[in-house]
Structure 1
């Protein structure tokens, strides 16, 4: 029995519920959904990402009512978005709140979430998840700060955690997950991290922060993130979960093998005859009914193709990386010969994990070259999404540039699912204690947080 039963809560569907802040394209939310959690609301300011969240919400609704054919008609382009959305109940779409979070906008956002809670009869928010935009904390961003108009230490994004905390004070969840980059602990000489710890403690939460790597959650990518977990003071069992390590016996090449081969500038929207790998099947990345989308690659100049082939040959013949300075002069176009000499990098196809997928993919694909020399191109949005562990049914809205940004900024859903399962286990342990207290007549009231 869940804690909601004790408090006579009514939640949407089965399982715990959550609010997703700074939701992006929904990678973190997708993992929690796959783990059995139910979304109350997603708050995201980017209109393309918000549309992606809407589309994914439609997918889950249509799956629930056994009408996924409408969803796939939309992906095929045989149904316009306007006609598609018209057939979706408004209560499905209302969970996506596309607004910039600020002190001025929070009352309106709270009102929308309160309406959802009231209409759905939900009395308790179990978990809040999300992570503020990370540029203000990132090590790379700090290195580039001298070129920016606003120094990194004065970046207003440093204090976005205060808006996150406002949601904690308002909805008093049992736990929260605050995801961010590795540099959050050292940003501004450590002052930002000290402020976060102090403030969250003041409003009634104990927090812990540990480095997690997506490769430990079965994702075929090395992606190191700081995962901060908070829980109410005075709880019996809540705390930082232990996450089970999952190391799959496969390679990146096997992850991508059933996607059609492409050359620069080409696209295909039907799967080929190559079989799906066991990894793809077992993790639900591609099902029998999926429609192939977003498998279109950039055009490349003849110079780029020559460079790509050199980089692929080096990697596939001994795992050597191309150094820009080693290129023939006729292939060099950059004046900078001292930094970023690894600007052309091949995805590690024969390895269990490749290097981190980044939003920089939206600018060019030189750092993410497909390992097949016959294709001599950068990876597609669909390939990047697969490396991030998104299922093929996940559709990213907007231009290709906007799609790459969404994929590159996302938390891998498989990693998020592992985190969510750990959170659920803690909540279940806490619920069991509360149930035992209820059965014995020694009921402890839910502790309220301070302000």
Structure 2
């Protein structure tokens, strides 16, 4: 079987890429990412899991907004060094798919609420334009564009971003589904992800290859039948995802390993080390996890949680700060915000009285245990929260291959 060549933009640590690689049907020609630590995690994954001996060459640490340099190469940049660029890596190969999604913070509803100007001035609103520039240059058979649900309502300059994206793809010769909200807004828990996570997954068909076929009908069939056939029989739970990991109990006293301070036991499993919690927070975690475990349910309302916060800290808050994962339900969404605190992702076991670890966040995002997170704890939480769950990405990759085979564009 001849593999399909992929170029990935905004690759992060490679959640989407990992799913495509799992199928054995795709060849990662090149990937682009501006965060250095995310690139390092991805390079390690490509080398150790997928045997790309030249992984450092295939992962470009660069700013996609500088598209001409990204394609043709750059020299002696203080942040990005020197590189021969995509042209020097791709070397005339046909790119079958371009995959990726710009950073979601500018489109997220939460980001707009928290920003004083509703993210209207955020440059990330328009990173899709850089994506389109690369699409125009390499003209693949098909594109995959992923982003948050908030993209559907974002309008930083008064025009909906989603309408700009539709126009852009159309001008570049690609058809995407007309009714994006009705068909391309997917609940990833339906595909075996143990987490409430909705994402817009746009698949674009290049009219140069698909011609004047009924592309809307092809896309409708893709979403309603081809991709839908990969849905799971049940939604996995938090217990399914993390229930077998070793317990990490609070230590009797805080202790140090080198300069790092610990409040809990730690394990030798990659990423399965709790962040530090002070004794007050450990007690709060015990109270609210016991409340659920015993069925007393005294702290199930936002008002009760706000009162507890005030009683324990002496401070007030307009929003409740705590959320405990439920063993027999899917997790709430795993966000990049986990890098700042884990108060909305508290482990359900009262004995452990802590927030979730990097490895637990990774499990809830369906990263395999052999996926190594080699950055700092803060960096690891961020790249995991920003990623597409690999097990969903695998199903998407299989469905896309089915689509291409059905239309004579893959074997």
Normalising TM by the smaller chain, what interval? 0.7 to 0.9
Does the 8 Å CA contact 1:19/1:127 hold for their aligned counterparts? yes
* Aligned residue in 2 for 1:106: 70
Aligned ranges 1:289-304 → 2 under 5 Å: 292-304=269-281
Deviation at 1:137, TM superposition (A): 1.1
Which sits farther off after the overlay, 222-231 or 187-196? 187-196
Deviation at 1:332, TM superposition (A): 2.8
Say if 2:33 is the partner of 1:33: no
Deviation at 1:328, TM superposition (A): 7.1
Query: 1:335-392 CA deviation, whole Å, 9 max, x = no partner?
Result: 32x2x21x111112122x1111111111111111111111111111001100100001
Query: 1:1-22 CA deviation, whole Å, 9 max, x = no partner?
Result: 7xxxxxxxxxxxx421211100
Which sits farther off after the overlay, 16-25 or 308-317? 308-317
* Aligned residue in 2 for 1:247: 233
Deviation at 1:125, TM superposition (A): 0.7
* Aligned residue in 2 for 1:229: 203
Give 1:346's match in structure 2, choosing from 318, 324, 327.
Answer: 324
Deviation at 1:102, TM superposition (A): 1.5
Query: 1:133-190 CA deviation, whole Å, 9 max, x = no partner?
Result: 11111111111232x5xx5223221211111011111111111111011111211154
RCO higher in structure (CA 8 A, sep ≥6): 1
* Aligned residue in 2 for 1:438: none
Deviation at 1:61, TM superposition (A): 4.2
Deviation at 1:237, TM superposition (A): 7.7
Helix, strand or coil: the match of 2:186? strand
Query: 1:219-259 CA deviation, whole Å, 9 max, x = no partner?
Result: 11110011111111261486432322113475321322221
Equivalent-residue separation in structure 2 for 1:95 and 1:312 (angstroms): 45
TM-score by length of 1: 0.76
* Aligned residue in 2 for 1:376: 353
Aligned ranges 1:109-148 → 2 under 5 Å: 112-118=85-91, 123-146=93-116
Does the 8 Å CA contact 2:71/2:87 hold for their aligned counterparts? no
Query: 1:183-226 CA deviation, whole Å, 9 max, x = no partner?
Result: 11211154322111112101111112310111011011110011
Say if 2:60 is the partner of 1:60: no
Distance change (3 Å), C-alpha of 1:250 and 1:325: closer
Distance change (3 Å), C-alpha of 1:194 and 1:324: same
Aligned ranges 1:429-440 → 2 under 5 Å: 429-431=406-408
Helix, strand or coil: the match of 1:129? strand
* Aligned residue in 2 for 1:21: 9
Aligned pairs, how many?
365
Helix, strand or coil: the match of 1:212? strand
Does the 8 Å CA contact 1:125/1:172 hold for their aligned counterparts? yes
TM-score by length of 2: 0.83
Which sits farther off after the overlay, 411-420 or 229-238? 229-238
Helix, strand or coil: the match of 1:125? coil
Task: Say which structure is richer in strand.
Answer: 2
Say if 2:245 is the partner of 1:259: yes
Distance change (3 Å), C-alpha of 1:315 and 1:133: same
Distance change (3 Å), C-alpha of 1:154 and 1:300: closer
* Aligned residue in 1 for 2:163: 194
Equivalent-residue separation in structure 1 for 2:340 and 2:62 (angstroms): 26
* Aligned residue in 2 for 1:310: 287
* Aligned residue in 2 for 1:425: 402
Helix, strand or coil: the match of 1:259? coil
Aligned ranges 1:179-218 → 2 under 5 Å: 179-188=146-155, 189-208=158-177, 209=180, 210-218=184-192
Deviation at 1:310, TM superposition (A): 1.8
Helix, strand or coil: the match of 1:230? strand
* Aligned residue in 2 for 1:326: 307
Q: Which runs of 5+ in 1 are unaligned?
A: 2-13, 63-87, 271-291, 436-451
* Aligned residue in 2 for 1:43: 32
Deviation at 1:33, TM superposition (A): 0.9
Distance change (3 Å), C-alpha of 1:329 and 1:179: closer
Helix, strand or coil: the match of 1:106? helix
